Amino acid sequence: MNVSNNKEKRRYELPLLDEMAVLEYMPAGSNNVVFTHTEVPEALEGKGVGSQLVKYALEDIKERDMKLIPMCPFVAGYIKRHPEYRELVFGYRPG
């Protein structure tokens, strides 16, 4: 999938057919990001599009050595199902 980070609009984008799936974010300080909203076109819901979008975004912030605040329920649920990303959550303490 062809996900990109549109820094000007502060969102990760995944173009699909004539529509766009997005994961919106806000910078929080110099090294943190708040994921605020994930939106997938209704016709593509339940097909893994949102998960691919979130995975790309998480890998991107991991690569940039950033931390996140998952305000978006979809992102929070994804991290709960994929504990390997918990270390990216701001304030996370193992155990």
What is the domain-level CATH number for residue 63? 3.40.630.30
Q: Is residue 65 part of a domain?
A: yes
Angle at 94 between CA 53 and CA 52, to 5 degrees: 10
Structural domain containing residue 9 = 4-88
Whether 72 and 35 have beta carbons less than 8 Å apart is answered as yes
Q: What is the pLDDT of residues 1-30, one digit of tens each?
A: 689 999 999 999 999 888 999 999 999 988
Nearest to 42 by CA among 50, 34, 30, 33: 50
pTM beyond 0.85: yes
Q: Is residue 18 part of a domain?
A: yes
Q: What is the pLDDT of residues 35-60, one digit of tens each?
A: 999 999 998 888 899 999 999 999 99
Q: Is residue 48 part of a domain?
A: yes
Nearest to 15 by CA among 58, 46, 37, 44: 44
Q: What is the pLDDT of residues 80-89, one digit of tens each?
A: 999 999 999 9
